[in-house]
Each structure stands twice: as structure tokens, then as C-alpha cells.
Amino acid sequence: DTEVTQTPKHLVMGMTNKKSLKCEQHMGHRAMYWYKQKAKKPPELMFVYSYEKLSINESVPSRFSPECPNSSLLNLHLHALQPEDSALYLCASSQVIGGSYEQYFGPGTRLTVT
């Protein structure tokens, strides 16, 4: 099973709302990732968790707050977002940190900020 699930599939939120994106995998992967993808662009890395600890934050604004409650779950908490934050948010996981293993992606959450 190489499935990564993400909820919700679509999300519309106002700039004053607080919402969370959820990601889950049951492949035993110990690395999990959040990406942001704008239309007609490649995914941009936001955060990397390794063994449930944040290992990379790509200078993401604090209105995005990641959380990794356990080895299977990854959350992205959203607060006071801007319209330019509207994008497809992708979660991914990989087997081992180190560069040699492929990442498996979820279907993404399409976020619209109004």
C-alpha cells in the first residue's frame, strides 16, 4: 500500500479563520513533507519532519504551523492566511531520510483564501 491520504480535498477559508489540513500514511515512513503548489508551477517544499521532529522549515510564514503528532500523521494549521496563500497543498512521505528514496504524495488539498 503506497497511499497517502489528505483531508479535506477542498477548503475555502476567510482571512480570519483557523483551519487545519491533515495527512496520513501507513507505510511506516519516518519522513513526512508539506509542499505548496501554485498553478503551472512545480511543488515548493515548505516543511520536512524526520522521526516526528521538524528538520526543515523553508522560511515559511508563521501563519502556517506544522505538527507531527505521531509517525503516521502530519497536520498543517492555518491562521490569518492571505489570498496569495491559495494553492494546492501536498503532503508526501518517504521511507528513509538520505536522498535515495522516492517520496509518495497525497492527492492534495485545494485551498482558497477569500
Under the rule (CB under 8 A), what is the footprint of other proteins?
2, 31, 40-43, 45, 48, 50, 55-56, 88, 90, 92, 94, 97-108, 110
Query: Which CB, 41 or 77, lies closer to other proteins?
Result: 41
Residue type, 67: E
SS3 85: helix
Q: Which is nearer to other proteins, 18 or 38 (CB)?
A: 38
Cβ proximity to other proteins: between 79 and 107 the closer is: 107
Query: For other proteins, which is the closer residue by CB, 28 or 98?
Result: 98
**In this structure, are strands 73-79 and 87-94 parallel, antiparallel, or unpaired?**
unpaired
Return d(Cα 50, Cα 34) in angstroms, integer. 12
Closest distance to other proteins from the beta carbon of 45 (Å): 6
Minimum Å gap between C-beta 89 and other proteins is 10
Are 3 and 24 in contact by the 8 Å Cβ rule? The answer is no
d(CA 25, CA 92): 9
Nearest to 21 by CA among 31, 13, 30, 11: 11
The CB-of-80 to other proteins minimum distance in angstroms stands at 25
